[in-house]
Amino acid sequence: SAPQFTWFFGADFTPSENLIFSAQARRVGASFSDDDNIPTNRVEGYTVADISIRYTWDAIELYGFIENITDEFYLANVQQNINIGQLAFVGAPRVIGGGIRMTF
């Protein structure tokens, strides 16, 4: 079933024409992974926050990001399997990345 609620908040800060800082947070309420709302298939709610930075110079963009900045551990789904038993699917851990984009 769908989560009890979901909210999202994001903001950008642009201190100069070429530089953008972004932050976002999302909260997903508790839900059940089945239509019968079996208690063992309940998935607790979670909150995840991300940040990013971008700098553009002519046709080049440098960027960096951190997803799930607090490294929140959460379950994205829980299911019962007849052959294996209960399966839990873990949400994404902290991810740090960056790169360079060029437009032609």
pLDDT digits (tens, 9 = 90+) for 66-102: 999 999 999 988 887 778 888 889 999 999 999 999 9
pLDDT tens for 5-40 read 999 999 999 999 999 999 999 999 999 887 888 888
Q: Identify the bridge partners of residue 15 per DSSP, sorted by sequence position.
A: none
What contacts 69, CB < 8 A, 6 or more positions away? 49, 50, 51, 94
Position 46 scores a pLDDT of 95
Give the chain's radius of gyration (CA, Å). Answer: 19
